[in-house]
Structure 1
Amino acid sequence: MSEIAVPETDDTVRVRRFREILLWPVQLMPLQEGTQIQRHWERLGGPDCVWSEVADEFTLDPGEFKERHYIEFTAFLPYVQRFLYGEGGAGGYGASPIKVFRRRDVARARLTLGDGVPRVVEVVHIDLYFFHDVDVAILAVEIAAEDVDLRWVQDLLYRFGRTYPSFWNADGSAGQCCRKVEWLAADGAVLAASDTDDKRTFLEFVCRNRAPYIAAHWAFLLKPLALHQSDAGGALTYRQLEYQRMPLLAYLSMDDPTRLARADWVRLGLATGPGVQDGTLPFAESYLYGFEQRYCYDRYWNLAPGCGLSSVRMICCGHALVMVGRDGDSFYTDLEAGLLGQFRHQYFLLGLIAHFHRAALLMLSDRLVVAISRLDIGDVDSVKVFKRDIRQIFEIFLRFTHRYWFHEVSNQGPARDLFRMWSEHLGTERLYAEVRDEVQDMSDYLDSDGLRRQANSVLRLTVVTVIGMIGTLVTGFLGMNLLALGDEPLWLRVLVFLATLLPTVGLILLSVAKSKRLADYLEALSDERRPLPDKLGLRRGRH
C-alpha cells in the first residue's frame, strides 16, 4: 500500500487564512488506587515543568474584559456558563471544574507532508485541559498559516493529527502521517521531531505491550505525562482512548469559496486529503449520496449579495468541523468579534464539550471492563475490591451526569444546531445510554447480592433464635431455680456459671455453623404437603 504525493500547480485555489485546532483526549491513570477524585493537575509544576496554569480571563480587571469575552460567555446557556467559567458570589456554583495549563516553549512547527516540501506554521496555543472528578485530559493544539495552497491544507488536515501510523509505505515512510514534524522554539531550535518512520520501534512496542506506541513529537507535547505502557514511568500516566486520529476544527478563508468543486468540499469536510486529480471524489458516489444533508450546515451558505450576512459553509462529520468563508468579509475574518474569533472560542468550546462527553463515557466504560477483568469470585479480597470499584464508578457516573452532561448548550441557532449535529455523528447519546445501562446493571447486581447476603444472615439468625427459644422456654418454665447456689462459695458459683456458659456458647456456634441445614430441616417440617415420616427423616425419597 502506498501513497502518491501531488505537487502544487499554478491554478490551484489559495487559502488566505488558515487555522487548525487539534483535540487529543487521553485517559489519565489513577494516582492512588481506591481514591475517587484524582487531582492530576496538582502534579504539574516545579522549576523544570513547561506547563503553567492559565489564569481565568474572567477574573481580571473589568477594564481588560473585552467584547470577545462577553460574546463568548453569552453564547451558552446558564448551566453551561457555570461549567465553563464558574460563578462568582457567595453561595454560588463556585469555580469552574476545568483546569487549563499552557506551554509556551513551542513557537512554530516545521511540517513535511506528502509532497516532501517542509513548511513552517505558527503554533498559536498548546493547552492541556483537566476536568475535576473525571480522569480525562484533552490536549488542544492550535496552528495558523497564511496564503497556502488548498491542496496542501487538505493534505495537512488528513496527515497532521495522527498519534501513530496505520501502516508504512513501500519506501518506508509512515502511511497517512506527515513525513516529518518538528517542534521549533522561538529561536528556531528543534525541540522534538517525529519518529514515525522508525517501523521497528512501533512493531516491537505493540508486540510487547499490546498497546500502540505514541509518536515522539506527540509524546513530547504531553510531558511530564507518559504513556502508561511505556518505560518512561513517572507520576502522571495516560493511555489512548480511541484510534490514532485526533479530532480537529479548521478555519479557511479564501477569495471565492464558490470556486470549490463538490469533491473539494467532501475532502475538506471528511478530512480525506487531496486527490490524485482535481475533481475526483474520495469515495463512491453512492456512499456520498446525501453528503450535503448529513454533514453540511448551510444556514449561511450562498446568501444573496447585499443581505448583510456573510456567506459561510460549515461541515461537521464528528471527527472534524470545517468552516469556509470569504476572505474579504470582515465579519468572517475579524479576530475579535467576527467568525474567526468565534471559531477559536465558541466553536472550539462546542467541540471541547462534545469530545469531552465521548472521552468521559469511554473512560467510564473502560473502568468497568477493568473492574470486571480483575474480579476473582473465589477470592474474598478481590470481591471486596470489585464492589468498591463499582460503587465508585456509579458515584462518578452520577456526578458526571449532573455536572457535565448536556443535551443542549446554547439557544443560538448555529451553536445549538452544530452541537446537536456533532453529538449525533459522535454517537454520544447512544454511548451514554450504553454506559448508563452497564453501570445500572452493575449497581443492581451489587444490590441483589447485598440483599441475598442479608437474607442469608436473617435466616441464620432465625435458626439460632429457634434453637435458643427452646432453652429459654425450658429454663423459664423451671424458674431458673434448679440449683440453689446462693449460699455456696464464690469459686463454686463461678465454676457452675462457666460449666453452663461454655455448652451454651458451643450450642449457639454449632447452630450458626449448621444453620443452612437446620433451616432446610425446619422448612421441611413446616411443609404441610409432606408426610410425617419424610419430615422427621425416617424415610428417604427415591432419587
Structure 2
Amino acid sequence: MSRTDPPVARHFRQILMWPLRLMPLRSGDQVQRHPQALAAITDGNPWREQRDEFTGSPADFHERHYREFVTFLPHVQRFLYGQGRSSATQPGYGESPIRVFRRNDVAAVRLGCEDGSTLDLAVQHIDLYFFYDVDVVILAMEVHADDLPLARVQELLFRFGRAFPAKWSHGDTDGRAAQCMRTVQWVGHDGAVLAESDYGDRERYLRHAWEHRASCIGRHWAYLLQPMVLHHSEAVGDIRYRQLEYHRLPKMTFLSFDDPFALSREDFVRLGQATQPDDGHPLPYSEQVLDEFERTACYDRFWVPARRSDNASTRVICTGPSMVMVGKHGLAGYSDPQNGLLAEFRHQYFLIGLIAHFHRASLLMLMDRLVVAVSLLDADDVDSRRRFKRGIRQTMEIFLRFNHRYWFGEVSKQSMAKDLFDLWTRNLGNEALYNELRAEVLDMDNYLEADDSRRQNETLLRLTVVTIFGLVGTIVTGFLGMNIFDGPPATLAGKIGAVLVVTVPTLLLAFYTLKKSSALSEFFDAVSDDTLTRRQKFKSFLRIWRGRPTGRRRNDLRARKP
C-alpha cells in the first residue's frame, strides 16, 4: 500500500510479558519459595524486591493508585494487593501472593532494524512477577519511544520480542536470523552495552536443540534473567526456568496518532496480528478472514470511523498473545499519562493482561507436570510407581489451590475492563485449557482411586485367606487348652524351646499361606460354586501348586463353567 503521507505514532509504548515455568528448588516440597531464593542471592544479583504503594508511605498513595484499586472486584483486589490491617492490632487477610522484583541497570534497548538503521527504546521498567504456590514467573518489560512511522511500529511488533530465532535467511552472507531484529542490545545508564543478541549464531541454537531436545534462548534474554538460568543448559544456578510455549513473547502496545482514522483496515490487521510490515502488497487474506478478525479480536465500543469524532476514536485489538490500543494523540482522555487511557493501559489493563497470561501459564505448567510425571513412570518399578503417585497427588493439590485462589471468571464490573478480560481469556483459550486440565486431573484421580481400591482388595483377600487357615489353629488350641503336654514342670530353656517349636512352623505356614493366597482364594471360589463338578473343584485344588498366571487360571475356570 503506497501513501503520500504515512501515519506517524506520536507515542509508542510496549509491554512485553514472558511467562516461564520455574523448576523445583527442593524435590518433594509442596510450596517452592523461589522469591526468597532470589532475594538470598547477593553476588551479581541485579534484582531487588519492589514494594507497592500500599506498603510504603501514605504520601505516596495517589488518586491514580486508588482508581486502579477500585477497578477490580474484591476477590481480585485481595489477589493483586492483599489485605492490610483494619486496626493496629487486628491482622487482615494477609499479604498479596504476588512478589515483584525489579532491575534498574538497563536504561534502553538498542535495536538494529531491517534497513540497517538503529533505534533506541527507553526502558521504563523491567520486573519479575512471582506467584505464591505456583511455579511460574512472568518477566515484564516496558519500553517507549516517540514519533515512529507506522512501518517502523509494524516492524517492532513483528520482529522485536522473540526468545530465539525460528529460522535463518538462506543466501545471506552474514547468516542473519529471519523475522528477528538484526541486533538487540541492552544499554546501561552510562551508554555501555550490557548484553547483545546472538541470533546469527545458528550453530549454537542447532546444537542446543540436538543436545537437550529443547530450544535455546538468546544470550541477551539469558543475561536479563540472571541469576536465574535455563533449565536445559550447562549453566550453574539454583533457580532454573524452562519455556512454556511459543517463542514470540506476548505483548501489549499503546499507539497514539494525530488521526487514527487514517489507518486502513489492513493496517489494523497488521498491528493486531503482529504480521510483517507493509511492503506495498495487500494482505493475502480473504474477506472472510478479515471479517472474522474484526469480529473476534476488535473491541470497537469507542470506535466509530463514520462519525470521526474524538470521543469515538479509540480502538482496541486483542488476539490473545498481542493487545494493541490505538487512539488520538493529544486527547486528554486518551494520552494523559495520569488520568487518560495511557495511565489505565500501563496499570489497570496491564494487570488484566497479567492475570490472563498468568492463568494460561499456570495451566500449561500444571499440564507439563502431568506429562513429566507420566513420562518418568516405570510400571515395573515399585519406587517409580510410588514417586508417580506422589507427584500426581501433589499436582492435583496444587490445581485445587489454584482453582480456589487464582482462577477468576470475572475481574471487574467496569465495562471496558470486564470486556477486555473476557476477550483476552477467550482468545488465549484459557477456558478450554482449564476444562482440558480439569478432565485430565479427574482421570488421574480416578486412576489413583481405582489402583488404591485394587490393592486394598488384594490385601483384604490375602488377609481373609490367612484368617481362615489361622482359624483352624485357633480352634484346635482353644479346644485342647494351653496344657497340651502333661508332665513334670519344664525348665526355662524347655519352655522357650516349646514356644519356638510352635511359633516357627506357625510363621512359616502363615507366610506360605500368604504366598498362595490368590490361588487359595480361587479354590474357595470353586468350592462355593455349585455349577462346578467335583472333578473341576479337585483340579482347582491341584492348581494351587501349579505356577500358572493368575489371570489365565481365572479364565480357564470361567471357561469350564457350563
Q: Same fold (TM over 0.5)?
A: yes
Is 1:362 matched with 2:356?
no
The alignment partner of 2:411 has SS state of coil
1:55 aligned residue: 51
Residues 4-43 of structure 1 correspond to what in structure 2 (within 5 A)?
Answer: 11-43=5-37
Q: Is the 8 A contact 2:196 2:220 kept in 1?
A: yes
Change (3 A) 1:81 1:539: closer
Matched residue type, 2:147: D
Q: Give the superposition deviation at 1:136.
A: 0.9
1:46 aligned residue: 42
Q: Is the 8 A contact 1:129 1:139 kept in 2?
A: yes
1:399 aligned residue: 401
1:406-432 per-position Cα deviation (integer Å, ceiling 9, x unaligned): 111111111111111111111111111
Change (3 A) 1:506 1:47: closer
Matched residue type, 2:34: H
The alignment partner of 2:374 has SS state of helix
Q: Give the superposition deviation at 1:291.
A: 2.3
Residues 247-286 of structure 1 correspond to what in structure 2 (within 5 A)?
Answer: 247-277=250-280, 280-281=282-283, 283-286=285-288
Q: Unaligned regions of 5+ residues in structure 1, if any? A: 1-5
Question: How many Å separate the matches in 2 of 1:303 and 1:17?
Answer: 21
Q: TM-score, normalised by structure 2?
A: 0.91
2:247 aligned residue: 244
Question: How many Å separate the matches in 2 of 1:372 and 1:379?
Answer: 13
Q: Is the 8 A contact 2:21 2:241 kept in 1?
A: yes
The alignment partner of 1:208 has SS state of helix
Q: What is the CA RMSD across the aligned residues, in angstroms?
A: 2.1
2:179 aligned residue: 176
Question: How many Å separate the matches in 1 of 2:243 and 2:251?
Answer: 17
The alignment partner of 2:396 has SS state of helix
2:109 aligned residue: 109
Is 1:420 matched with 2:416?
no
1:346 aligned residue: 348
Residues 525-540 of structure 1 correspond to what in structure 2 (within 5 A)?
Answer: 525-537=527-539
Change (3 A) 1:174 1:327: same
Q: Is the 8 A contact 2:112 2:118 kept in 1?
A: yes
Q: Give the superposition deviation at 1:290.
A: 2.9
Q: Give the superposition deviation at 1:40.
A: 1.2
Q: Give the superposition deviation at 1:287.
A: 2.3
Question: How many Å separate the matches in 2 of 1:130 and 1:178?
Answer: 29
Matched residue type, 1:153: V
Question: How many Å separate the matches in 1 of 2:236 and 2:315?
Answer: 45
Question: How many Å separate the matches in 1 of 2:7 and 2:241?
Answer: 41
1:3 aligned residue: none
- Pick aligned residue for 1:77 from 73, 78, 82: 73
2:485 aligned residue: 483
Q: Give the superposition deviation at 1:113.
A: 2.0
Change (3 A) 1:247 1:498: same
Question: How many Å separate the matches in 2 of 1:119 and 1:91?
Answer: 50
Residues 199-210 of structure 1 correspond to what in structure 2 (within 5 A)?
Answer: 199-210=202-213
Q: Give the superposition deviation at 1:539.
A: 9.2
1:462 aligned residue: 464
Matched residue type, 1:191: L
Q: Give the superposition deviation at 1:477.
A: 2.5
Q: Is the 8 A contact 1:485 1:493 kept in 2?
A: no
1:418-474 per-position Cα deviation (integer Å, ceiling 9, x unaligned): 111111111111111111111121121111111111111111110111001111122
Q: Is the 8 A contact 1:227 1:237 kept in 2?
A: yes
2:546 aligned residue: none
Matched residue type, 2:99: K
Question: How many Å separate the matches in 2 of 1:144 and 1:464?
Answer: 78
How many residues align? The count is 536
Q: Is the 8 A contact 1:67 1:337 kept in 2?
A: no
1:97-149 per-position Cα deviation (integer Å, ceiling 9, x unaligned): 11110000000111122222101110111001111111111100110001111
Q: Give the superposition deviation at 1:511.
A: 1.2
Question: How many Å separate the matches in 1 of 2:191 and 2:488?
Answer: 102
Q: Give the superposition deviation at 1:305.
A: 7.5
Residues 280-359 of structure 1 correspond to what in structure 2 (within 5 A)?
Answer: 280-281=282-283, 283-302=285-304, 309=311, 311-359=313-361
Question: How many Å separate the matches in 1 of 2:329 and 2:337?
Answer: 12
Q: Is the 8 A contact 2:310 2:328 kept in 1?
A: no
- Pick aligned residue for 2:227 from 224, 227, 233: 224
Q: Is the 8 A contact 2:261 2:305 kept in 1?
A: no
Q: Is the 8 A contact 1:27 1:241 kept in 2?
A: yes
Q: TM-score, normalised by structure 1?
A: 0.95
Q: Give the superposition deviation at 1:478.
A: 2.7
Matched residue type, 2:354: L
